[in-house]
Amino acid sequence: MTGNELLGVPIRGEISHYSNKPYAEPKDPQGFIDAIMAALDVDQVDSIRWSQYTPYFNDGDPCYFSVGEPLISFVGNNEDSENYIEGDYGDFLADYELGNEEQNQLGVSSDDMKVIKAAFDAINDVGYERLLQDTFGDPAEVTIGSDDRQFHVEYYEHD
């Protein structure tokens, strides 16, 4: 364990840093934590994941840190389940893969989807970019589960 935490939620793994980007006005980290924890409170949610990194090459333009597509996994949605929904990221689904049919199949209400989408919005909010880079590193893949409610950080290989 790195000994790091974000507002009382433990962070496990190696934290690295790579980019030097101009950032938007920072937001209060509590709003980020509140959105993530609210999504983890949805009964069907298993975990939330995102990657974050600075690209090595950007067609001659400056390379800046950014946060990737937020992903979510649901309890019971795996290769062994009868109604398995396989997304572009395996068991983890992106926002664009969560239409009404998928919501019904997963048993997620429209109110719960609003909570999940609010967590996705927080992850994508540029007001939290500096917080995410400083806290979890660059490059990193960050996962938080509804069971242990700890951030798990792994080094993220990217192009």
- Give per-residue pLDDT as tens, 46-58: 999 999 999 888 8
Those residues whose C-beta lies under 8 Å from the C-beta of residue 127, and which sit 6 or more positions away, are 24, 25, 26, 27
pTM: 0.86
Per the structure, the count of domains in the chain is: 1
pLDDT score of 18 more than 90: no
Q: How many CB atoms lie within 10 A of CB 28?
A: 12
Quick check: 10 and 150 in contact, CB under 8 A?
A: yes
Condensed to tens digits (0 to 9), the pLDDT of residues 51-104 reads 999 988 888 888 889 999 999 999 999 999 988 999 999 999 999 999 999 999
Residue 25 lies in a domain: yes
Q: How far is Cα 143 from Cα 139, in angstroms, rounded to an integer?
A: 14
pLDDT score of 17 more than 90: no
Average pLDDT, the chain: 92
Domain range enclosing 28: 21-154
Residue 58 lies in a domain: yes
Residue 14 lies in a domain: no
Residue 16 lies in a domain: no
Residue 94 lies in a domain: yes
Q: Which two tokens stand for residue 138?
A: 């660059």
